[in-house]
């Protein structure tokens, strides 16, 4: 147990799917898992462990932003012996080629923030997903005839809808990166995994677009992510 997680060590599987929203964790457990049970409700950050086609898996919410992700990922890796975490999230599109509901597999996560410096005094702003996990996810998508778009993302410390000059933000991106979307948690997950010698990957569903002015409702955000959820579960 930790200050943020009341689960017993044996309650948590060695593979964790990690949406940001606690209600999305609840949705995944109720609609995709069998014999599941609630194993954490501290701060209403719901965690469930159950089975998908006989494979034991935990679904655990991270909350929003890098600090929250950093706490839950660190504790799951360090104190619960979790081997792999796959983040399941939503993102905004920074590429005109992307449409609402497209599924992204993150290669690199870039941040202007100082998560790595805060954790261990390292000036690092770019981190790569685990190649083995990404390969598994790609293979699963191909076998299921699901279009999966690989690319780099911005991991922001602020919700980009509130940025005063989004074009100025985009102009600051390193030119050698293929940043196609923005979210708020992947860098903390990837860096924590590297820090503790664990594995991490991130699947994202596009829910709004900087270029096409497309967006969906909060209810659609929760229910429209099934493609991404299926890829993650089938990859197990």
- Report, as residue numbers or ranges, the catalytic residues: 208
∠ CA 81-3-58, rounded to 5°: 40
d(CA 170, CA 130): 26
- Give yes or no for a contact between 33 and 48, defined as CB atoms under 8 angstroms apart: yes
**CA 36 from chain center: how many Å?**
21
Q: Which one, of 101, 123, 112, lies nearest residue 153 by Cα?
A: 112
Q: 177, exposed or middle or buried, with CB in 10 Å at 0-12, 13-18, 19+?
A: middle
d(CA 105, CA 205): 9
Take residue 209 and report the two structure tokens written for it: 């677009």
């Amino acid at each position: 147990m930790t200050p943020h997680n009341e689960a017993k060590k044996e309650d948590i599987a060695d593979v964790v799917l990690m949406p940001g929203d606690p209600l999305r964790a609840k949705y995944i457990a109720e609609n995709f898992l069998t014999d599941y049970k609630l194993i954490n409700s501290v701060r209403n950050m719901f965690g469930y462990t159950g089975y998908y086609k006989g494979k034991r898996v935990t679904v655990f919410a991270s909350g929003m932003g890098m600090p929250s992700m950093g706490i839950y990922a660190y504790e799951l890796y360090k104190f619960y012996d979790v081997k792999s975490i796959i983040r399941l999230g939503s993102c905004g599109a920074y590429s005109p080629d992307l449409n609402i509901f497209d599924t992204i597999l993150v290669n690199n996560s870039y941040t202007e923030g100082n998560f790595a410096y805060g954790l261990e005094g390292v000036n690092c702003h770019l981190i790569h997903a685990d190649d083995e996990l990404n390969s598994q996810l790609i293979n699963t998508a191909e076998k299921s005839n699901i279009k999966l778009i690989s690319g780099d993302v911005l991991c922001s410390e602020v919700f980009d809808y509130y940025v005063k000059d989004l074009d100025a933000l985009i102009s600051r991106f390193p030119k050698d990166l293929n940043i196609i979307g923005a979210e708020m948690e992947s860098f903390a997950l990837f860096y924590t995994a590297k820090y503790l010698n664990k594995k991490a990957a991130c699947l994202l569903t596009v829910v709004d677009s900087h270029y096409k002015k497309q967006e969906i409702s909060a209810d659609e955000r929760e229910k429209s992510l099934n493609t991404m959820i299926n890829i993650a579960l089938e990859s197990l």
